[in-house]
A and B are shown apart, each in its own frame.
Chain A
Amino acid sequence: MEAMLAIAIGLLSSCGVYLMLRARTFPVILGLTLLSYAVNLFLFASGRLVVNAPPIISSETSHYTDPIPQALVLTAIVIGFGMTAYIVTLALRGLSESGGDHVDMPEIVDNNATEAAIDSRPPAASQKEQQS
C-alpha cells in the first residue's frame, strides 16, 4: 500500500510540475491543482497508513489512526480550494483585458507614461524618426 501511494504522489506531482511550466494560464492552474492533490496525499501519509482503525478514542479498540493529518488535510483542501477559485478569476480577468492567455506577455507600460516618454525624447531622436 505504501508503494502504491508513493507512486501516486510521485505521478501527480510530476504531472503537476510539468503542467505548471506550460506557457498558458489554464494548464498552469491545472498543474497547481494536481500538485495540491499530491501534497494532500502526502500529508495523509505523514500520520502513517492505517486501515480499518478509528481516529477517535473508543472502548472497543486499542488500534488507532492518527487524526491530526486528517485535520491538516482538510484545512489544506479548504485553503487550496479558495486559492484555485481566486486564480481562475484572475486568469479570466487577464484574458478579458489582454485578449490572450499567455502567462508571460510583454509588459505593457501605462498608456499615459508611454506617450509622455515619447514626447520627452531628445529632439534628435524624434527628428530621425520623422526622416525615416
Chain B
Amino acid sequence: MHHSIMSHSPILPILIPFVSSMLLLMLSSRKACLHRGISALAAILLLAASTHLLLLTDNGSPLSYALGDWTPPFGITLVADRLAALGLMVTSILAAAALLYASAGFDQKGRHFHAIFQLQLVGINGAFLTGDVFNLFVFFEVMLLASYILLAHGGGLNKSRAGFAYVTLNLAGSAVFLIALGLIYGTLGTLNLADIALQLQSIPAEESALVRVAGALLITVFVLKAAVLPLSFWLPHAYAAAGPAVAALFAIMTKVGIVAVLRVQMIAFDSAPATAGLVGDWLIIAALATIVFAALGILTAKSLQALVAWLVLASAGVLLIVPSLGNSLATAAGLYYLVQSAIAGAAFFMLAGLIRDARGRAGDGLFRAEKISSITLQVGFLLLAATAAGLPPFSGFVGKLMLLSAASQSSLAAAIWAVILVSGLLTTVALAKAGSRLFWEAPQEDEAHEQPAGPVAAGSWRQYLSTFGLVAVSILLVILARPVSDFTQRTAAQLHEPSQYIEAVISDHAAIPRMTRP
C-alpha cells in the first residue's frame, strides 16, 4: 500500500466538514463573519475534494479506504465508487449554495447554525462513502440528528411540532435499521457490504428466510428516508416547516435513501440466489402510488414552500421506480434525474424563500396579495416551474424522457408512462395556478387601500446569487446533458457489475479466517 497523501482522498469529504464543525463549535463565541468564513472555506474545500474524487473514480475502479489500515472485512471500509462521487458532487454544490443563502441572515436566527450544517454534511457524505452497513447506520444518525436541529433552527411552533413527528418517526426507523443489522450479523457474520455480497452467495435458497427478512427491513428503512408511500407522510410537513436554506440541503436527503437502496440492491442482493428479486415487485407499486399521492398534494398545497416539498416527494417517487427496473439504462436515467431534481428542488426552495421576503406579510401563501413586480423572480419561477413540471427543453424533461424510454421494456411500462405523464400534467396545472396567483392576480382595489403593504425585505445579493447559481447549474445540466448522462451511464455500468466493487474491497475472499457458529 502506498502512503501518499492522495491515497487518503476518499476520507476527505468526511474530514473537511467534520474538522470545520469542531472548529466552529470551539469558536462559537466569536463573531458571525468568522463562522461564515470558516463555513465558506469548508464548502470550497469540499467542492474541490468532491471534484477530485469524481475525476479519480471516473478513470478507474472503486477506491477502497481501510480506516486504521484494518484489512477488510475487519474494521470499517470507505469505498469511493462513481455513485458515491456523484452523490458527493451534488451534495457539495447544494451545500455551497445553501450556505451562501443562509449567510444573508438566516444563520443568525439561532446558535451553532454553521457547526450543525457541517455535521449534517459529515452524515450525508459518510452515508455516500461508507462500505459498511453498521457504519451507514452511524452516518445516518449523524445526518438525522443534525437535520433535527437544522429543522428547528429559527424557532416557531410549527417547527417544533413538525420536528417532533419527524424525530419520532426516524427513531422508530433507526430501531428497525438495528434489527435488520442484527439479523444480517446473526446470519452472515459480517457487516461489510462487499463481504455481505460474498457471504450471501453461499446461502441456499431454502435457508434464506431470515436473510430475506433482514434485507426487506433494510430496504424499508431506506425507503422511509426516501419517503415512499405509505412512509411518506412526514416529508411534506417537515420540509415545508424548515427554513429555505435548510430545506435546500434537505433536497439531497431523500436521495441518500435512494442511493442506499440502489447500492445495497445492486452490490449485494440482486446477484445472490437467496435475495434476488427482493425489491422488484412491490417497490415499483409503492413508487407509482407515491407519484400519484404527491401529484394530488401539489394540487392542494397552500404555500409555495409546501408545493416544492410535494415536488421533492414526487421526484423521490419517480426515482424509486429505478431499482425495480433493474437494467443499466434505467439506472443511468435515474441517476441523471436524481442530480437534476436535487438541484432544481433546492433552487425552488430558495426561490420560495425569496418570494416570501418579497411579499412581506402574505409570505409565500398561494392566495391573492400584493403582486410581485420583480422580473428576476418571475423569470426564476418560470424556469424552475418548467424544470419541475418536466417541460422541454429543461433538465426535468431530459431526465423524464430518459427514464420513460428506459422503462419502455418493462412489463409495467404502460402504468409507468401513464402515472409519470399524468402527474406531470397535474404538476404543470398546479404550478401555472401558483404562478398566476403569485405574479398576476392583484387584490381588489378597495382591499388594497385598507391593507398596509407590510414589511417588504429586499433579498440580499447572497440569496439571489445562490438561488440563480443553482438555476444556472440546472440549465447547465441541459447544455451538458450528453457528458453528464455519459457519466451516469458509466456509474450505472459499474453498479451493475458488483464484482468491481467487491474486488476493490476484498481481494482474497478465501483467505479470510471465519468463526463457525452454532
Interface residues of chain A, those whose CB is within 8 Å of chain B, are 20, 25, 28, 32, 35-36, 38-40, 42-43, 45-48, 66, 68-69, 72, 75-76, 79-80, 82-83, 86-87, 90-91, 93-94, 97-98, 103, 105, 107-110, 112-113, 115-117, 119-120, 122-123
Contact = CB atoms under 8 A, between A and B. Distances in A.
Given A72-B185, A98-B157, A107-B158, A79 B164 contact: no
Given A32-B168, A48-B517, A90-B167, A120 B145 contact: no
A105 B182 CA distance: 36
7 contacts: A39-B179, A40-B178, A43-B181, A47-B185, A48-B186, A69-B185, A116-B451
B183 interface: yes
User: A-side binding surface: helix, strand, loop or mixed?
Assistant: helix
B138 A75 contact: yes
Interface in B1-53: none
Interface stretch (B58-66, B347-355, B358-366, B427-435): B358-366
A119 B451 contact: yes
Contacts of B178: 39-40, 42-43, 76
Interface string B168-195: 1001101100110111011000010000
B166 to A, nearest CB: 10
Nearest to A32: B171
Interface in B232-268: 237
Given A46-B182, A98-B157, A113 B365 contact: yes
Interface stretch (B99-107, B274-282, B412-420, B440-448): B440-448
B148 interface: yes
Nearest to A126: B447
Interface string B305-336: 00000000000000000000000000000000
B179 A72 contact: no
Most A-side CB within 10 Å, residue of B134, B171, B447: B171
B141 interface: yes
B367 interface: yes
A42 B179 contact: yes
Contacts of A79: 138, 141, 174
A46 B186 CA distance: 4
B199 interface: no
B483 interface: no
Contacts of B361: 112-113, 115-116
Q: Nearest 9 pairs between A and B by C-beta?
A: A46-B186, A46-B182, A116-B362, A94-B160, A113-B363, A39-B178, A43-B182, A46-B185, A97-B157
Contacts of B369: 116, 119-120
Contacts of A90: 148, 152, 160, 163-164, 167
B189 to A, nearest CB: 9
Contacts of A112: 361-363, 454
Most A-side CB within 10 Å, residue of B145, B181, B454: B181
Contacts of A122: 444
B508 interface: no
Given A45-B186, A87-B171, A107 B161 contact: yes
Contacts of A116: 361-363, 365, 367, 369, 451, 454
Contact of B368 (A35, A113, A115, A120): A120
Interface residues of B, number: 49
Contacts of B149: 86
Given A36-B175, A122-B444, 20 more contacts: A38-B175, A43-B185, A47-B186, A48-B186, A72-B134, A72-B182, A86-B148, A87-B167, A90-B148, A90-B152, A94-B161, A108-B157, A109-B302, A113-B361, A113-B365, A115-B361, A116-B369, A116-B451, A119-B369, A120-B451
B165 interface: yes
Nearest to A50: B518
Contacts of B302: 109
A20 B168 contact: yes
A38 B174 CA distance: 13
Most B-side CB within 10 Å, residue of A38, A72, A122: A72
A98 B161 contact: yes
Contacts of A25: 164
Nearest to B168: A28
Most A-side CB within 10 Å, residue of B175, B185, B237, B362: B175
B450 interface: yes
A82 to B, nearest CB: 7
Interface string B267-310: 00000000000000000000000000000000000110000000
Nearest to A94: B160
B411 to A, nearest CB: 37
Contact of A83 (B156, B157, B171, B518): B171
B181 A93 contact: no
Interface in B59-104: none
Contact of B145 (A38, A40, A75, A86): A86
Contacts of B451: 116, 119-120
Contact of A35 (B134, B172, B182, B185): B172
A110 B363 contact: yes
Contacts of B447: 119-120, 123
B174 A117 contact: no
